[in-house]
Structure 1
Amino acid sequence: MKRSLLSLLTVWMAVLTVAGVLGLPPSKSAAAGTNLLLGKSYSASIAADASYPDTGNAELTNGTYASALLADAAWQGRFNAATYSFTVDLGSAQSFQNFKSDFYKYTGAGVQTPTQVQYSSSTDNVNYTAACTVSQQGSGSDIVSVPYTCSAPSTISARYVRMTVTSAASTWSFIDEWEVTPASLSTAARLNGTFLQPDLANTWTSTQWNTEYQKMIDVGINQMVLQWTANSKSSTTVYPTTALSGYTQNTSSDIVSKVLSQGNTYGVDTYLGLQLNEDWFGKYANDNTWLTNEANLAKTLAGDLYAKYGSNASLKGFYLSFEVDNWNFPTSTEWSRMNTFYQTVAGYIKSLNPSLKVMISPFYNTSGGQTTSGWQTMWEAILPNSSLDILALQDGVGAGHAVTSQLASWFAATKAAITNARPSMALWDDAETFNLDFQPMDLSTLVADMNAAASYVTNYLSFSFNHYISPQQVNPLYYTTYQNYVQSGSMDASAPTTPTGLASSSTTSISTHLSWTASTDGTGVVGYKIYRNNEIVSTSYSAGTTFDDSQLNSSTTYTYKVQAFDAAGNNSAISSQISVTTLAGTSYPTNLASGKTYTTTLAADASYPDSGGELTNGSFGTTTYSDAAWQGRNTGSTYSFTIDLGSSKSIKEISADFLQVKSVFILLPKSVTFSTSANNTAFTQVGVVNKPAVSSSDQTKTYKVAGLSSVSGRYVKVTVEPASSAWTFIDEIQVRQ
């Protein structure tokens, strides 16, 4: 058989030589996506025939595709091999869905295509699961390369891949290139990159790093911005360095090295953020000396980072993390200072390597009299000669600065400013993936936001895939829904079923317990919205079907309804309504704190000061934050107040009033802890109130512990844990018996 095959081959080669075919280069695969097998070694259950060997045991994965010639050395052949297989170790778990391998058919030479090819996968190289199977191909064709292509029903995550070939007896089986690729992505608008905060990455194990990057790649994310590498206020870095005098590393590992290494491995372009400093959000460009010092520090930091990590292929540039906005840069003086800042820092980065890109990510406010024309004018003054390459504009929807319908006009104004002032600069979209509760944004809103900016931008970053879509951080249904979207181009539009069986139990004077029967959804329910008196007071981001409502008023009737939602933002119909009446409570008539003095661990902000005794003067603030009864603090750190009652008292109830105005980021505390002491040194905790369920409207809310038993003391401490780095406004503190 071998001799007759060679004779036919000689004739066929002569024909093709006359036709000029032998001079053609091997064709490239048209398969979409990255071939995960490229360059990988593999094992074969049956070795190739010595006359048609597998040269270097690498022909199946070397990226060279055989032509329709038996003499092409890219083919390897086996005779009378009824069943044989190949196995590849990918080195670690990878995600993939599509399979392809090329076989040769030449009937006159006894070369036939397989009767079946099965592709399978395994996590342990012992137990294999079939992914898809292809029956015999190539009918009606001859002297051709025949692809065997199929896709698994859904994305597979596995380390080992196997191809099993079944052939007819007494025939030759010729095979060449084998491909395994991720799921194909649609052309719909999708995220290309993501911001990552070092604090999150510092908690990851090596496995989590690899999983995170693989999940990113699977949905088309190939750009990473490490949001900062140093903090010039706390004098800390996220990598080891001696170049910054007085700085210490505050992460357990070298985050810069890790993110660049991952970028090298996964082909992810990486941008390193320079320093952040919380003082920026008070100084901005008003203190030019401070800003100049920060520019000089940024140069030192960039130089140090480039010296240490510049050899990494994934390093594409730097990100300047000071965020410019249109509220705090009102005049040409601030604009000129920012232009100088950018020229200084970006110009220095270009001196290190002209190919390094420099990125900024400003944001805009649509309220307070701000206009798109004013925004455009500001950037036309800031950008000239700035050496900046990328403006990644925060869309502002998640933070409440804008709504989807406003995006086109603000992105258009930004694009116009770039065209007029720095036409070489790219405009990217920094799409926000969170909502005002700092939970994952409805994915249909995210897609609508990207589409609104599509006419003006060339790329989509996000803040942040890693924090609000990654299955390692939030409900995996958000990732599943987003992955389905980027593969199909269509967002899930099917709503969950209506919750049923809503009931209450264990009702007291200040609380009640709700329960209901779960809804169902094609992809999955990610949470429930709780309505009290026809207002949404709580959104639960879990599949749990219970809710405890607390800090209610006694002897009061409330109505409740429940609504399910999925990751896309599809809402079910609202459940049937029930009514709940709280029990009568005990009244404690004497306010022991009235007129008493107190101390605090954190003074009120000068704009919303404590004019003296405000917390115990009996004057209650309204829902207007300019009401002088309120005192405000802009911090994410815990602070406390201690009231001296003058002598030890028996205490039955302690309360404190707070304000919520979400539009200006005045938020209710995450928790308030009440404690008492006899000596102002050793305090005993008597109760903790977590943020109660309230609507998003402007309102005051009392945090209260009542019905205390055997509690006494001279000193009462109220410890406030803010919801985030935002404003908390407090007014009256009462201690009653």
Structure 2
Amino acid sequence: MMNKKFLYIALIILIFTFGLIYFNSPLRSNRNYPIITGSFIQLDMTQHWNSNDWKNELNYLKENKMKYIIITNVSQTQGNITNTCYKNNISGYKKIYGNIDPVELCLKNAEHLNMKVFIGPNFNTDWWQVPADNYLWLNSQMERANVVADDLYKKYHSKYPNAFYGWYFPYEVDNAKYTKISEFKNLANAINIHINHLNSKGERLPILLSPFMNSSAGTANQYSSNWQYLFSKTNFKKGDIFCPQDSVGSGRLNLEEVNSWYTALKKAVAKKPGMLFWSNAENFDYVNNSSVPLDRFLKQLTLESPCVDNIICFSYSHYYSPNNIDSGFNKAYSYYVEHGKLPYKKLDSPQNLTITTVENNKFKISWSVPKNTDNICGYEIYRDNILISRIMLQRKYGGNPNGFSKSIIDMPLLKENTKSCTYTVRSLGFSGNVSKPSNSVSVNIDTFAKLPHLLSKNCKYSITPLPHEKYNDVHFIKLTDGKYSSINSSKSSDFVGWYNDPIDINIDLGKIQPVQQFVVDYLRDPIPWAELPERASIGISEDGINFTPVGLLRIPSVPFSDRNGSRYPIYLTLDKPINARYIKLTSITKPNYYTFIDEFEIRN
């Protein structure tokens, strides 16, 4: 009898203890749906913030169950010149942002609110140009980071011991730049220079690093294997955090790829005892550099949460905070945090859609806002039910002050058997919901038809400059062989590619003959940075020396919804044939992008 009584008492105590733990645990506060627990803040955005601004910002985060802040741009180096945004004690380092010290203001308010701050000590902007095998350069940056870390720790840690929680490793590694074990070995050595210094100085705090990934540059398993190797060579310890960017906002991963990449990387982290695995969810859209509606952001959280210990984001403060954008984003997310679902309210439709012809096959689409604009964060424009543009509310810092207009210019890609197109506009809500469409307006467009006689098949040509070595045309045959790529990807060997450079392609038809149409088949594949050119023109010549310009190629508008590889046949058709032997395409590549072409045809 006593044994049963003892068991009952023990059971009651166990239930009470579990209930106490549960009701005070993240599981209870999450209510079994994923939320973010922190945000990056780039300090250039805060250069004019006072203490009240910081207090307001951190309160927004705190109210939404966040407790981690990662501040970057504390000090920046370009070449050998270093500027700091805080009041440093390092000889030769210049203080910027006047008398404001955003590091102090952040830590002060975080200490008061019991929030935890990770600080990135230094970043050299040359990182994006320096190759991965230049270990001497990276090692030297670790030495600079150590100097700044010493200064930060001495200045702030004893003053704000609870808020000054950790270090952020600011060099963003990816699987396009870092591809070899030897490069990860050099990276591991550099990280150890930093870790060992912090250990020796008694400044060792949890370290968070946040690389990113690109599905066009390799596989998830390859990337996981390289990180597993790095973890085996580095002095990370229990409590350090591997927190990859989900790369959805930047377009380097598609939503459907996220779970498999985090699943693979989780296996690498599991090989490092005590290391935590977080995700860094991106709440922006690279296509229009805007805040993303919350439905997509929450899909990211749902896909990532089964794989990771915690989720933070880049960046609530930049893209959702009322300090920097319309409060509707924060209200919608706060509702989700409280209720586990987004608020979906009926939106009024845009009014008075009108189409004006700017020039042949080029149109201005304009509309009026509805009388009730509550809960509207933007407008979506459709051409033949395809989403071609999204106009969003703009951020105060980092946004386009002229970006929230009620009109766009559209140049549809002309196709065979398409003689008209129809436009509509919908209102877009903060939660990602849309209104019913506006009135529709149709316009006539020209059809594109290739002229029957192909003159350039297997013709010789020259190229200036030579293509990128990875996408070469060694025998100068690919652009006139008549072979179009069967896949719309830069990985296809049928495409020839150039990085950053303007291109001249000069085809020799072998004899003077009438020419009338010029067709260039471009690839647009945004994940591996392949874009349509800024502009392109055609010149003709009879002697190959003196060229006469005959016109510009018509570069069409790229639909907002075109996120994957697509071929764009872009052409110029003259009103009547003109005699020529040599045809030169001059194509201007967008800065820091690739141009890919698989065929250049001359017809009459």
Q: TM-score, normalised by structure 2?
A: 0.67
Asked if 1 retains the 8 angstrom alpha-carbon contact of 2:411 and 2:556, the reply is no
Write the deviation string for residues 187-218 of structure 1: whole angstroms up to 9, x where unpaired.
774444333456x53xx652489647633432
Distance change (3 Å), C-alpha of 1:456 and 1:371 = closer
Asked if 2 retains the 8 angstrom alpha-carbon contact of 1:621 and 1:628, the reply is no
Deviation at 1:361, TM superposition (A): 1.2
User: Is the counterpart of residue 194 in structure 1 residue 59 in structure 2?
Assistant: no
Write the deviation string for residues 141-175 of structure 1: whole angstroms up to 9, x where unpaired.
xxxxxxxxxxxxxxxxxxxxxxxxxxxxxxxxxxx
Whole-Å Cα distance in 1 between the matches of residues 536 and 437 of structure 2? 35
Whole-Å Cα distance in 2 between the matches of residues 492 and 431 of structure 1? 21
Deviation at 1:430, TM superposition (A): 0.9
Asked if 2 retains the 8 angstrom alpha-carbon contact of 1:320 and 1:358, the reply is yes
Deviation at 1:463, TM superposition (A): 1.8
The secondary structure found in structure 1 opposite 2:120 is: strand
Write the deviation string for residues 628-662 of structure 1: whole angstroms up to 9, x where unpaired.
67443445xxx5357999xxxxxx99997642123
User: Is the counterpart of residue 433 in structure 1 residue 293 in structure 2?
Assistant: no
Distance change (3 Å), C-alpha of 1:294 and 1:473 = same
User: Is the counterpart of residue 319 in structure 1 residue 165 in structure 2?
Assistant: no
Give % identity. Answer: 19
Whole-Å Cα distance in 2 between the matches of residues 477 and 327 of structure 1? 37
1:563 matched residue in structure 2:
426
Whole-Å Cα distance in 2 between the matches of residues 472 and 359 of structure 1? 26
1:193-342 matches, within 5 Å, as 193-197=38-42, 200-201=44-45, 206-207=48-49, 211=53, 214-220=56-62, 222-226=68-72, 229-231=75-77, 234-239=79-84, 253=96, 258-267=101-110, 269-276=117-124, 283-284=131-132, 287=133, 290-307=134-151, 310-312=154-156, 313=160, 315-325=164-174, 336-342=185-191
Asked if 2 retains the 8 angstrom alpha-carbon contact of 1:443 and 1:567, the reply is yes
Asked if 2 retains the 8 angstrom alpha-carbon contact of 1:673 and 1:687, the reply is yes
User: Is the counterpart of residue 396 in structure 1 residue 247 in structure 2?
Assistant: yes
Whole-Å Cα distance in 2 between the matches of residues 307 and 495 of structure 1? 53
User: Is the counterpart of residue 526 in structure 1 residue 377 in structure 2?
Assistant: yes
Whole-Å Cα distance in 2 between the matches of residues 259 and 664 of structure 1? 36
The secondary structure found in structure 2 opposite 1:607 is: helix
User: Is the counterpart of residue 547 in structure 1 residue 408 in structure 2?
Assistant: yes
Asked if 1 retains the 8 angstrom alpha-carbon contact of 2:295 and 2:432, the reply is yes
1:34 matched residue in structure 2:
none
2:347 matched residue in structure 1:
496
More relative contact order in 1 or in 2 (CA 8 Å, sep 6+)? 2
User: Is the counterpart of residue 344 in structure 1 residue 193 in structure 2?
Assistant: yes
1:105 matched residue in structure 2:
none
Asked if 1 retains the 8 angstrom alpha-carbon contact of 2:121 and 2:168, the reply is yes
1:721 matched residue in structure 2:
590
How many residue pairs end up in the alignment?
A: 529
Distance change (3 Å), C-alpha of 1:717 and 1:367 = closer
Deviation at 1:355, TM superposition (A): 3.9
Distance change (3 Å), C-alpha of 1:336 and 1:617 = closer
Whole-Å Cα distance in 2 between the matches of residues 578 and 225 of structure 1? 48
1:102-251 matches, within 5 Å, as 189-197=34-42, 200-201=44-45, 206-207=48-49, 211=53, 214-220=56-62, 222-226=68-72, 229-231=75-77, 234-239=79-84
User: Is the counterpart of residue 572 in structure 1 residue 572 in structure 2?
Assistant: no
Whole-Å Cα distance in 2 between the matches of residues 412 and 474 of structure 1? 34
AA aligned to 1:310 is K
Higher fraction of helix? 2
Deviation at 1:366, TM superposition (A): 6.1
Distance change (3 Å), C-alpha of 1:604 and 1:186 = same
Deviation at 1:354, TM superposition (A): 3.6
Distance change (3 Å), C-alpha of 1:560 and 1:211 = same
Asked if 2 retains the 8 angstrom alpha-carbon contact of 1:228 and 1:276, the reply is no
Residues 495-504 or 429-438, more deviating: 495-504
Distance change (3 Å), C-alpha of 1:432 and 1:721 = same
Write the deviation string for residues 199-251 of structure 1: whole angstroms up to 9, x where unpaired.
x53xx65248964763343232551230674457x444342999999x997xx
AA aligned to 2:497 is G
Whole-Å Cα distance in 2 between the matches of residues 703 and 296 of structure 1? 47
Distance change (3 Å), C-alpha of 1:380 and 1:551 = closer
Whole-Å Cα distance in 2 between the matches of residues 248 and 640 of structure 1? 39
Whole-Å Cα distance in 1 between the matches of residues 323 and 517 of structure 2? 42
The secondary structure found in structure 1 opposite 2:106 is: helix
Deviation at 1:549, TM superposition (A): 1.5
User: Is the counterpart of residue 693 in structure 1 residue 535 in structure 2?
Assistant: no
Whole-Å Cα distance in 2 between the matches of residues 417 and 627 of structure 1? 30
Distance change (3 Å), C-alpha of 1:273 and 1:719 = farther
Distance change (3 Å), C-alpha of 1:421 and 1:642 = closer
AA aligned to 1:693 is V
| Structure 2 unmatched ranges of 5 or more | 1-28, 394-403, 508-515, 540-548, 576-582
User: Is the counterpart of residue 606 in structure 1 residue 469 in structure 2?
Assistant: yes
Whole-Å Cα distance in 2 between the matches of residues 715 and 315 of structure 1? 61
Deviation at 1:295, TM superposition (A): 2.5
Asked if 1 retains the 8 angstrom alpha-carbon contact of 2:424 and 2:441, the reply is yes
Distance change (3 Å), C-alpha of 1:243 and 1:264 = closer
The secondary structure found in structure 2 opposite 1:263 is: helix
Deviation at 1:557, TM superposition (A): 1.9
Asked if 2 retains the 8 angstrom alpha-carbon contact of 1:296 and 1:345, the reply is no
Deviation at 1:253, TM superposition (A): 1.8
Whole-Å Cα distance in 2 between the matches of residues 333 and 667 of structure 1? 31
User: Is the counterpart of residue 640 in structure 1 residue 502 in structure 2?
Assistant: yes
User: Is the counterpart of residue 659 in structure 1 residue 502 in structure 2?
Assistant: no
2:23 matched residue in structure 1:
none
Distance change (3 Å), C-alpha of 1:654 and 1:410 = closer
Distance change (3 Å), C-alpha of 1:466 and 1:606 = farther
Distance change (3 Å), C-alpha of 1:320 and 1:558 = same
Distance change (3 Å), C-alpha of 1:409 and 1:588 = closer
| Structure 1 unmatched ranges of 5 or more | 1-184, 646-651, 677-683, 709-713
Whole-Å Cα distance in 1 between the matches of residues 518 and 59 of structure 2? 53
The secondary structure found in structure 2 opposite 1:206 is: coil
Asked if 1 retains the 8 angstrom alpha-carbon contact of 2:283 and 2:313, the reply is yes
The secondary structure found in structure 2 opposite 1:506 is: strand
User: Is the counterpart of residue 668 in structure 1 residue 518 in structure 2?
Assistant: no
Asked if 2 retains the 8 angstrom alpha-carbon contact of 1:551 and 1:703, the reply is no
Whole-Å Cα distance in 1 between the matches of residues 42 and 556 of structure 2? 26
Distance change (3 Å), C-alpha of 1:467 and 1:515 = same
Whole-Å Cα distance in 2 between the matches of residues 259 and 615 of structure 1? 55
AA aligned to 2:523 is L
Write the deviation string for residues 506-538 of structure 1: whole angstroms up to 9, x where unpaired.
374221233445457784222233332343222
Write the deviation string for residues 435-476 of structure 1: whole angstroms up to 9, x where unpaired.
352432221222333344445545432222344334565555
1:346-385 matches, within 5 Å, as 346-364=195-213, 370=219, 378-384=226-232
Distance change (3 Å), C-alpha of 1:585 and 1:705 = same
Asked if 1 retains the 8 angstrom alpha-carbon contact of 2:72 and 2:170, the reply is no
Asked if 2 retains the 8 angstrom alpha-carbon contact of 1:527 and 1:565, the reply is yes
Distance change (3 Å), C-alpha of 1:380 and 1:508 = closer
AA aligned to 1:193 is G
Whole-Å Cα distance in 2 between the matches of residues 473 and 655 of structure 1? 45
Distance change (3 Å), C-alpha of 1:238 and 1:559 = same
Distance change (3 Å), C-alpha of 1:331 and 1:718 = closer
AA aligned to 1:514 is I
The secondary structure found in structure 2 opposite 1:444 is: helix
The secondary structure found in structure 2 opposite 1:298 is: helix
The secondary structure found in structure 2 opposite 1:383 is: helix
Distance change (3 Å), C-alpha of 1:498 and 1:553 = same
2:26 matched residue in structure 1:
none
